[in-house]
C-alpha cells in the first residue's frame, strides 16, 4: 500500500545505501546539524565502498583502510569526529540487527593534544575581521561566530526567517535538540543586512554557485531567490584557514577566553557559549599570553621613590 511505513525489520537494509538511509532517518538523529554532519561522512564512505554493495560483505579492515585514505592525514580532532560518525552508524546497525563490520584496533580514536594557544589574541581577530580583501560572506560569518560564541554548524544552519535583526538574536538547535538563543553585537548587525539584501527566506550563508543536478540538496537548503545552496561547514573551514591560518573553532574558543580575561564570571560565559558542564567550559576559558604577561607585572618589586 502506498504511503505505508514498513517496520525496520521488513525494510531492505542489506545494501550500504539502504543501511545508511535507515540510520539517518532514525528519530535518534533528528537534530539537523548532527544529521548533516553524519550525512557528509557517510556519503564519502558510500562513494568509496560502493552504495549498492551488501553491507555484510564489507570487512572491518576494508572500512578501516578507507577511513585512513579519507582522513588519515587529518588532525586528530577531525579523524575522531569522522570516525565517531562511522562508529555511530555501525553501532546503530548492530543494535538494529543489521549485519555490519566492526572496526579493528588500527582505526581507534587518536589522542587530541591540548593546545594552549587556541585562543587568538583579540587584536589579531579584529585585524582579520577588518581585512578589505575578505568577501562579505566570510566577514559576516566570522564576525557572527566570534560575537555569538556559537558553533559553526549552528550558525551555518540559520535561515533568514530565523533572524531577529532588531533584537540581534536568533534561535538555534543545540546538540541536545533544545531551542536556545544566540546573540550578536553591532559588528554583525552592521554586516547582516548587506549580506541578505533582496532575500526574505532561505539560508543566511550561501555557496558560491548553484548545485549541479547530481548533488541536488533538500529544498530547505536552497535559496528561493538565487537557487544557491547553503554554505557547508567544510567549505567555510577551508576558506577561514586559507585567509587566516587558524581553525574555525578558534573563534568560539577566543570569544570565551576574551570574556574570561575581562573578569566575566564563568556562569555567564557558560550561558553565552551554552556549555552545561563547567569543566568543559573551563577548557576554553584559558587566559591568553597577553593576560598572563599583564598580571606578571604585579609580581615585580615595588619601585623606590626617588
Please write the tens of the pLDDT for every residue from 54-74.
999 999 999 999 999 999 988
Distance CA(145)–CA(141), nearest Å, equals 6
Residue 306 maps to a domain: no
Distance CA(172)–CA(184), nearest Å, equals 13
pTM over 0.75: no
Residue 299 maps to a domain: no
Residues 162 and 39 in one domain: no
Q: What is the CATH number of the domain that holds 66?
A: 1.10.150
DSSP symbol at 205: S
Residues 96 and 151 in one domain: no
Q: Which of 107, 141, 175 is the last residue of a domain?
A: 107
Q: Which domain holds residue 232?
A: 122-293
Residues 271 and 132 in one domain: yes
Q: Which of 45, 80, 107 is the last residue of a domain?
A: 107
Distance CA(141)–CA(205), nearest Å, equals 8
Q: Which residues of the chain have pLDDT under 70?
A: 1-13, 30, 113-117, 175-176, 284, 286-290, 304-306
The number of distinct structural domains making up the chain is 2
Please write the tens of the pLDDT for every residue from 126-162.
999 999 999 999 999 999 999 999 999 999 999 999 9
Amino acid at each position: 500500500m502506498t504511503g505505508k511505513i514498513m517496520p525496520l525489520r521488513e525494510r531492505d537494509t542489506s545494501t550500504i545505501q539502504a543501511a545508511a538511509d535507515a540510520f539517518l532517518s532514525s528519530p535518534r538523529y533528528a537534530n539537523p546539524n548532527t544529521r548533516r554532519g553524519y550525512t557528509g561522512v557517510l556519503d564519502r564512505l558510500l562513494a568509496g565502498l560502493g552504495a549498492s554493495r551488501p553491507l555484510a560483505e564489507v570487512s572491518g579492515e576494508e572500512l578501516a583502510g578507507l577511513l585512513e585514505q579519507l582522513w588519515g592525514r587529518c588532525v586528530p580532532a577531525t579523524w575522531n569526529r569522522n570516525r565517531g560518525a562511522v562508529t555511530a552508524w555501525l553501532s546503530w546497525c548492530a543494535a538494529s540487527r543489521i549485519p555490519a563490520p566492526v572496526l579493528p584496533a588500527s582505526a581507534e580514536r587518536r589522542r587530541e593534544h591540548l593546545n594552549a594557544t587556541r585562543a587568538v589574541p583579540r587584536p589579531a581577530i579584529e585585524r582579520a575581521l577588518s581585512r578589505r580583501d575578505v568577501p562579505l560572506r566570510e566577514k559576516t560569518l566570522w564576525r557572527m561566530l566570534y560575537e555569538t560564541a556559537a558553533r559553526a554548524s549552528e550558525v551555518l544552519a540559520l535561515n533568514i526567517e530565523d533572524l531577529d535583526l532588531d533584537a540581534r538574536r536568533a534561535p538555534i538547535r543545540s546538540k541536545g535538540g533544545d531551542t536556545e538563543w544566540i546573540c550578536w553585537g553591532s559588528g554583525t548587525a552592521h554586516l547582516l543586512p548587506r549580506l541578505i539584501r533582496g532575500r526574505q527566506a532561505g539560508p543566511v550563508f550561501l555557496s558560491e554557485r548553484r548545485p549541479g543536478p547530481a548533488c541536488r540538496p533538500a529544498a530547505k537548503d536552497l535559496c528561493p531567490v538565487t537557487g544557491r545552496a547553503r554554505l557547508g561547514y567544510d567549505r567555510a573551514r577551508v576558506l577561514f584557514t586559507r585567509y587566516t591560518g587558524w581553525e574555525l573553532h578558534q573563534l568560539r574558543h577566543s570569544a570565551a577566553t576574551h570574556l574570561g580575561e575581562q573578569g566575566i564570571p564563568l556562569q555567564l560565559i557558560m550561558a553565552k557559549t551554552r556549555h552545561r558542564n563547567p569543566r568543559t567550559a573551563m577548557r576554553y576559558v584559558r587566559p591568553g599570553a597577553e593576560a598572563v604577561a599583564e598580571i606578571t607585572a604585579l609580581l615585580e618589586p615595588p619601585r623606590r621613590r626617588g
